[in-house]
């Protein structure tokens, strides 16, 4: 009976979510290397991979369902590829209003996890304002997610998400695929993270969090926070 209850709960979770579905070329080598099962529907595939294993759900035209992660499976070579349906949970907005933080005085921005669940990634989107990590005379151009200063490499990031006890739950200090002056910043978890409904999390500027050279920071910026659940 409990198994059926869990199953119905999963079905209802699935119904109230809108899943992103796109057609993509996937490498056959990759598909051969991941476990697959025969499925009758995309829903069955999403239940199997997305909700059970917190992985990307990929389904081919013959109904085979593969659980994988996108970055390992996308194909650039058309000869070695197959057109498949890729199904993943969308990013859900967690902040009804933009939340704001500055670069000093422990002025973090709080947000609440809207529902219980496992989160694979957070996306932060800049809305307004700017944080300068040293005197504006030196830092004419602010960095949205890092620090525009010779001491920091181009791909260095200073944005941190902590829990309400100020324990870091996710950060990405180096990432060659993202722009520290960009509008968006993606924080992908190595392992899915479990949260309770209404759990408070905090977005910090790294210098403020670590109490390092925050005395010369000025400005404040506002962002929206999104989460991708399993
Ligand atoms: Ca501080
Ligand atoms: Ca500083």
The pLDDT, as a whole number, for residue 70 is 72
Is a pLDDT exceeding 90 seen at residue 140?
Answer: no
CA of 216 to the centre of ligand 1 (A): 12
Separation of CA 156 and ligand 1 centre (Å): 19
Instruction: Report CA(131)–ligand 1 centroid distance (Å).
Output: 14
Whether pLDDT at 184 is above 70: yes
- Domain 92-229 in this protein, CATH class: mainly beta
Query: What are the pLDDT digits (tens) for 104-127?
Result: 999 999 999 999 999 999 999 999
Distance 164 CA to ligand 1 centre (A): 15
**Mean pLDDT across 50-69:** 91
143 pLDDT band, cuts 50/70/90, is very high
Q: Across residues 171-190, what is the average pLDDT?
A: 96
Domain with CATH 2.60.120 in the chain: 92-229
215 C-alpha vs ligand 1 centroid, how far in Å?
Answer: 9
* Per-residue pLDDT at 181 exceeds 80: yes
**CA 25 to ligand 1 center in whole angstroms:** 46
State the pTM of this model.
Answer: 0.84
The four Cα atoms 184, 190, 195, 201 give a dihedral, to 10 degrees, of -40
Residue 28, pLDDT > 70, answer yes
For residue 16, name the pLDDT band (cuts at 50, 70, 90): very low
Q: Is 29 helix (H, G, I), strand (E, B) or coil?
A: helix
Tell me, in angstroms, the distance from the centre of ligand 1 to residue 105's CA.
Answer: 5
Ligand nearest to the CA of 214: 2
Separation of CA 67 and ligand 1 centre (Å): 42
The CA-based angle 185-49-190, given to 5 degrees, is 35
pLDDT for 88 = 87
Mean pLDDT, the chain, rounded, equals 90
Q: Is 179 helix (H, G, I), strand (E, B) or coil?
A: coil
Alpha carbon 124 to its chain's center: 8
Quote the radius of gyration of the chain (alpha carbons, Å).
20
């Amino acid at each position: 009976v409990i198994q059926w209850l869990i199953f119905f709960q999963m079905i209802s979770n699935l119904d109230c979510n809108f899943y992103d579905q796109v057609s993509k070329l996937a490498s056959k080598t990759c598909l051969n290397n991941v476990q697959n099962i025969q499925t009758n529907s995309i829903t069955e595939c999403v239940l199997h991979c997305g909700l059970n294993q917190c992985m990307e759900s990929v389904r081919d035209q013959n109904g085979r369902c593969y659980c994988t992660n996108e970055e390992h499976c996308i194909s650039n070579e058309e000869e070695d590829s197959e057109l498949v349906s890729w199904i993943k949970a969308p990013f859900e907005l967690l902040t009804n209003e933009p939340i704001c933080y500055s670069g000093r005085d422990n002025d973090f921005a709080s947000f609440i996890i809207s529902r219980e669940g496992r989160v694979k990634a957070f996306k932060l989107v800049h809305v307004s304002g700017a944080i300068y990590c040293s005197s504006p005379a030196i830092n004419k151009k602010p960095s949205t997610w890092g620090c525009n200063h010779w001491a920091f490499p181009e791909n260095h990031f200073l944005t941190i998400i902590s829990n309400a006890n100020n324990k870091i739950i996710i950060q990405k200090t180096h990432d060659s695929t993202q722009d520290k002056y960009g509008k968006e910043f993606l924080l992908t978890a190595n392992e899915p993270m479990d949260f309770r409904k209404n759990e408070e999390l905090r977005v910090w500027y790294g210098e403020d969090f670590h109490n390092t050279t925050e005395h010369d920071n000025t400005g404040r910026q506002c962002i929206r926070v999104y989460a991708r659940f399993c």
